[in-house]
Structure 1
Amino acid sequence: MSRFRAIWQASLNATKKALTWKAEDLIPPTERYIFNFNSREELKKWHLYSDSEYGGLSSASLEIADTGNGIKGVFSGNLSLDVSEGSKWNITRSGFCGMRSKKFDGFIDLDAYDTIALKLKGDGRSYISTIPLARYLPTWRGNVIDADLEMNPSRVLGMSLSVNADGGVPGAKTGPGDFRVEIDWIKALRSV
């Protein structure tokens, strides 16, 4: 009898909760913080990558720093087009770095949102990150790839920000050399 009673009590509790919901409980907020770069704990959620994994000589770091405008995440490093001698990888050029979030516990549901916003201060280079969820662009090694993939905003596994020595928008700084971007936060927005 106690098993039946436990099931009955769980059902009763769920019914009470459903009857006390307010409309605002059913509508998600218009914005949702995904990452807030204001503590060293935030860094544990990210993994750095670069062409050095394939024989390139680029390097990157991610730190929390007081930038004079508050505590921010600082993604910085050096882009190099050179390739190390004797690399086991058959690459002829390099020049990319990035930061990728570690996988969420399962996934993050962003179905109620239509945009990813980043508050950052750049250095004149083009940084690649997917912003409008409806126009998701897959990237690999700092470049947008032409692939027929569809984004499922209710099952987002991770996010990334990358920089490439070549390419970018007209007028952007390109070529080898240092890069630096200060990141305040990343959040999801609902515009409608």
Structure 2
Amino acid sequence: MSRFRSLWQTSIQATKRALKGTWEDLMPPSEKVVFHFNSKDEISRWHLYADSELGGLSSASLEIPDTDSGAPLTGVFSGNLSLDLDECSTWRMKRSGFCGMRSKRFNGFIDLDSYDTIAMRLCGDGRCYISTIPLDRYLPTWRGNVINANLEMNPSRIVGMSLSVNAEGGVPGAKTGPGDFQLEIDWIKALRS
């Protein structure tokens, strides 16, 4: 009988502590790490694509460079953008010069409904990179280009994210054209203001 009474009292005390909590205790944290590019396991959660899948000659990689300095590890998305086409290709491409990385499907969904901003810690090379992220001004993209589509984003059911680069286009002043690209990526976080 004393074990039951002890368990009952412990349960009542835990319930009282939970009820004394504040509204802030029920809110999710102000930031949530979605991806941290600091290990080979994290890098393996991404799939690379390029126009080479369709007859282009662009290439991409996502790696964590070996460092002996003890500096924090950071992912590097790099490669080469080419406007040329493989003459032997059976695809009839009209445009080339794009590469990207897309997260593999989450195990279920990731719920970002409590957050209003996506932040990325990056070090770029002057090129314009496009990301499909759940913001109020979300822009759907395909193969490095923004597409016109009337889509509604459901931030509580995110299935993946992507980051791409295109040899042509971008914001004024950004580096364009064929050639090498390199983007260091530390993390992607969801933030709540």
**TM range, smaller chain:** 0.7 to 0.9
Once residues 86 and 131 of structure 2 are traced to their aligned partners in structure 1, the CA distance between those partners, rounded to angstroms, is 28
Once residues 25 and 104 of structure 1 are traced to their aligned partners in structure 2, the CA distance between those partners, rounded to angstroms, is 27
Residue type of the partner of 1:162? S
Q: Which residue of 1 aligns with 2:18?
A: 20
1:165 maps to 2:167: yes
Counting aligned pairs with the same residue, the percent is 72
SS at match of 1:83: coil
Alpha-carbon deviations, 1:141-175, whole Å to 9, x = none? 00000000010000000000100000011011000
Unaligned runs of 5+ in 1: 1-12
Residue type of the partner of 1:49? Y
Contact 2:77 2:184 in 1 (8 A): yes
Task: Please list every run of at least 4 consecutive aligned residues from structure 1 whose deviation after the TM superposition is greater than 4 angstroms.
Answer: 16-19, 66-69
Q: Which residue of 2 aligns with 1:153?
A: 155
Contact 1:122 1:181 in 2 (8 A): yes
Q: Which residue of 2 aligns with 1:36?
A: 36
Deviating more after overlay: 127-136 vs 75-84 = 127-136
Q: How does 1:126-141 map to 2 (within 5 A)?
A: 126-131=128-133, 133-141=135-143
Q: Which residue of 2 aligns with 1:48?
A: 48
Unaligned runs of 5+ in 2: 1-10
Once residues 111 and 132 of structure 1 are traced to their aligned partners in structure 2, the CA distance between those partners, rounded to angstroms, is 9
Contact 1:46 1:101 in 2 (8 A): yes
Once residues 48 and 27 of structure 1 are traced to their aligned partners in structure 2, the CA distance between those partners, rounded to angstroms, is 35
Once residues 60 and 158 of structure 1 are traced to their aligned partners in structure 2, the CA distance between those partners, rounded to angstroms, is 19
SS at match of 1:133: coil
Q: TM-score, normalised by structure 1?
A: 0.86
SS at match of 1:134: coil
Once residues 53 and 108 of structure 1 are traced to their aligned partners in structure 2, the CA distance between those partners, rounded to angstroms, is 29
SS at match of 1:71: coil
CA change 1:131–1:106 in 2 (3 A) is closer
Once residues 16 and 90 of structure 2 are traced to their aligned partners in structure 1, the CA distance between those partners, rounded to angstroms, is 60
Once residues 32 and 18 of structure 1 are traced to their aligned partners in structure 2, the CA distance between those partners, rounded to angstroms, is 28
Deviating more after overlay: 87-96 vs 38-47 = 87-96
SS at match of 1:65: coil
Q: TM-score, normalised by structure 2?
A: 0.86
Q: Which residue of 1 aligns with 2:190?
A: 188
Task: Give the CA deviation at 1:44.
Answer: 1.3
Once residues 18 and 78 of structure 1 are traced to their aligned partners in structure 2, the CA distance between those partners, rounded to angstroms, is 60
Q: How does 1:41-120 map to 2 (within 5 A)?
A: 41-65=41-65, 70-120=72-122
Alpha-carbon deviations, 1:60-117, whole Å to 9, x = none? 0000125776310000000000110132211133000000000001110000001111
Task: Give the CA deviation at 1:129.
Answer: 0.9
